[in-house]
Structure 1
């Protein structure tokens, strides 16, 4: 596992800005970091129950990627399996931290095993996780 110190959030306003910027497609591309992905997803789970994330999150991310000049192809942009794995991690974390303030929940997620960039590699071989198939469709883990 690689060691990356996560950038933590000072307050809930920064998290809401990410989530709202993702939805509005106004978030600057350099702000769309690993931490931003998890923070925005946590905000969506916590504060936007009107959005069916299982159905809508792929399109939200694809449209955002395109709005900042990115492409969603076999080799870049939206990644279905990674998105699904981290969405499940966010939901599990939210259940475990119920009652806490949003910023504390996001920061705790980022500091946890589930929040690590390489967390999916506990369940997937690198070859399977970064395959074209896994990018385009959800594939089940091959390690555990």
Structure 2
């Protein structure tokens, strides 16, 4: 498996820009990277407590995808199980870093095992993770419980 060095955020403002752009559906599509997904999720969990990330990320990300010309269906766009894996990872990471400044919290997540692109595959076999069932709804892992994220 190839390891990709994450693109880190220079400051809090760049993270807030991504999070607000996601919610407003104005973030340019080319900026919606793996790192942006995690930064927006961490920002929402930490800074927008009125948003229930586990329940609302589906509509937030799906709406954003459509707004930038994407499609959410059985083969592309929003993936519920992957999203829930990363929401769990973000929550676990925030527990471990406490009140660390936003930029430091995001960048340390991106540099940690919880922030890696392959994290879901530590918990799911490829066949299960990339199934239609996993894309459309949350399914439990078949390898390692998410409590260990």
Give the TM-score category using the shorter length: over 0.9
Distance 2:99 2:75 in 1: 39
TM-score by length of 2: 0.95
Structure 2 partner of 1:143: 143
Is it true that 1:28 corresponds to 2:28 in the alignment?
yes
Instruction: Please report how far the alpha carbon of residue 49 of structure 1 lies from its aligned counterpart in structure 2 after TM superposition.
Output: 0.4
Is it true that 1:94 corresponds to 2:94 in the alignment?
yes
Distance 2:63 2:99 in 1: 32
TM-score by length of 1: 0.98
What is the correspondence of 1:43-122 to structure 2 with a 5 Å cutoff?
A: 43-122=43-122
Note the aligned Cα RMSD (angstroms).
Answer: 0.7
| Deviations 1:47-70 (CA, angstroms, capped at 9, x unpaired) | 100111122111000000000000
Unaligned runs of 5+ in 2: 145-149
Unaligned runs of 5+ in 1: none
Distance 1:135 1:99 in 2: 33
Is it true that 1:41 corresponds to 2:41 in the alignment?
yes
